[in-house]
Structure 1
Amino acid sequence: MNSQVEIHPEESRPQATAEVVLACHDLTKVYRQGANELHVLRGVELQVPKGERLAIVGASGSGKSTLLNLLGGLDTPSTGEVWVGGQNLATLNANERGWLRNSSLGFVYQFHHLLNEFTALENVAMPLLIGKRSVAESRAQARDMLEAVGLGQRLDHKPAQLSGGERQRVAIARALVARPACVLMDEPTGNLDRATAHEIHRLMDRLNDETGISFVIVTHDPDLAGALDRCLHLVDGQLVEGWQQGNHV
């Protein structure tokens, strides 16, 4: 597997540098039920440079997963803008947003969300097949990525035949196989024991070094947050710099 992957994001907003792969401006999210309003996000500003490993921490219910879904184009903000690879998601139709997510973003969740009826190889090849790659190319790249995460001997195993840590490695391989500019992770080690979680941490560090892919990781894990390049805390609907001890539950 070629360990050096070049990423060429499209031209970004005029005030952003060409190295910014993911950004949002004045992002808000308001949930309404009758006359009641719940303001979850209040004018969030964020820029993620190429290759950065960013942690987002905050209290349960503070809106971390909501923010991640907005950044990934899986939900629509009440106001504000999300830019992926220099493109404003609000200017794209549903099909265009889907193609941009497939080519520029990867997703890893606390629960792996693998397709149980498919093998590890087939699960990892799925984003490439959706992106209209040939079956042969998709399987070859999926095999390379599974070998990169240490699962070269588990290609034909289905999720039920894999350990929790192995399933999460498959999920990470699936997120990385299309060589996205940025991978969004929601509690990627929250369902794992401590030893397995440390293995996943080391794996993410190595893949970041080898590929230059950015990682945005929502986590309650202080060890993981403290080991990344930058840590932002979601407080009262806004992102502030730094880890605040005691507010990560």
Structure 2
Amino acid sequence: MNSQVEIKPEEALSPPSAEIVLACHQLRKLYKQGNNELEVLRGVELQVPKGERLAIVGASGSGKSTLLNLLGGLDTPTTGEVWVAGQNLATLNANERGWLRNSSLGFVYQFHHLLNEFTALENVAMPLLIGKQSVSDARAQAREMLEAVGLGQRLEHKPAQLSGGERQRVAIARALVARPACVLMDEPTGNLDRATAKEIHKLMDRLNQETGISFVIVTHDPDLAGALDRCLHLEDGQLVQGWQQGDGV
């Protein structure tokens, strides 16, 4: 395993090249608690190339979920830049950021966050309907994606009728259905048993190979982190390199 080396700010490009689907430069997040200030992120640098599978690991409370929310445009940095599909989020208004998230990013969380009153098919079609696709096209693409994750026989089942692993597969299908540039995942297998988690790992690997979509995965799961292309550690508010494929780990 390589000794950890801090990623230098000058390695970041602004704006990134077309092959970089997600990037941040000098990203800082500061929280104020009364008279106290807590700096969670301190000048984070990151570039995610097209098709890369990246793990981000770190101790609980180190700021991993905060970083993921900033990369996804769900929160605003104190200072710094986030680029998604070549666009600087800071230059967009709220509506434009929403459209960019819907078209270029997918999200999967530890808890699936499916809409309980809707079927699996309706849940997966939702991002396409928000993107103004026709109902027939959205349903057809949702059906295709659910079949791709092995749920072709569960299209009309609601979340309460599905197992934990099946619900997470629906969440993954929903994240991928719009063919985003990158999918952000926060502990996607954290609530699953080991056997189901391994099936989800295989599924994500296959979908990455078939679609070329990048994955950025926050995880405590060493098996998942070890199966990806690169692993970064969030330590003291900064990302430092752990290892990447070819390091012999």
Q: TM-score, normalised on structure 1? A: 0.92
Task: Tell me the SS of whatever aligns to 2:188.
Answer: coil
- Code of the residue aligned with 1:223 in structure 2: it is D
Q: Which residue of 1 aligns with 2:180?
A: 180
Q: SS of the residue aligned with 2:150?
A: coil
2:138 is the alignment partner of 1:138: yes
Contact 2:17 2:86 survives alignment (8 Å): no
Paired residue type of 2:156: D
SS at match of 1:223: helix
What is the CA distance between 1:16 and its match in structure 2? 2.6
Whether 1:77 and 2:77 are equivalent positions in the alignment is: yes
The AA in structure 2 aligned to 1:122 is: E
For structure 1, the residue ranges without an aligned partner over 5 or more in a row are 1-12, 244-249
Q: What are the superposed Cα offsets for residues 41-96 of structure 1, whole Å, 9 maximum, x if unpaired?
A: 00000000000000000000000000000000000000000000110000000000
One-letter code aligned to 1:172? I
Secondary structure of 2:195's counterpart equals helix
Q: CA deviation at 1:152?
A: 0.1
The separation in 1 between residues aligned to 2:16 and 2:156, in whole angstroms, is: 44
* CA-CA distance at 1:17 after TM superposition: 2.2
Encode CA deviations 1:120-162: one digit per residue, 9 max, x unaligned: 0000000000000000000000000000000000000000000
CA-atom RMSD, angstroms? 0.8
Amino acid paired to 1:138: A
Equivalenced residues, count: 231
What is the identity, as a one-letter code, of the residue corresponding to 2:121? L
Return the letter of the residue paired with 1:97: R
Tell me how far 1:14 sits from its aligned partner: 5.5
SS of the equivalent of 2:114 reads: coil
What's the secondary structure of 1:239's corresponding residue?
strand
Q: CA deviation at 1:190?
A: 0.3
Counterpart in the other structure of 2:115: 115
Compute the displacement of 1:35 (Å).
Answer: 1.3
Equivalent runs, 1:56-205 vs 2, <5 Å: 56-205=56-205
Q: Which amino acid aligns with 1:167?
A: R
Name 1:246's counterpart in structure 2: none
**Residue 37 (structure 2) aligns with:** 37
Moved over 6 A (4+): none
The Cα offsets for residues 138-195 of structure 1, whole Å up to 9 and x where unpaired, read as 0000000000000000000000000000000000000000000000000000000000
SS of equivalent to 1:42: strand
Secondary structure in structure 2 of the residue aligned to 1:165: helix
Distance in 2 separating the partners of 1:162 and 1:14: 44
Distance 1:55 1:143 in 2: 29
Amino acid at match of 1:219: T
TM score, norm. by length of structure 2? 0.92
Q: Secondary structure at the match of 1:242?
A: strand
Does structure 1 residue 225 correspond to structure 2 residue 215? no
Q: 1-side partners of 2:74 and 2:136: how far apart?
A: 29
Q: Distance in 2 between matches of 1:14 and 1:190?
A: 34
User: Distance in 2 between the 1:223 and 1:87 partners?
Assistant: 33
- Residues 28, 42 of structure 2: 8 Å contact kept: yes
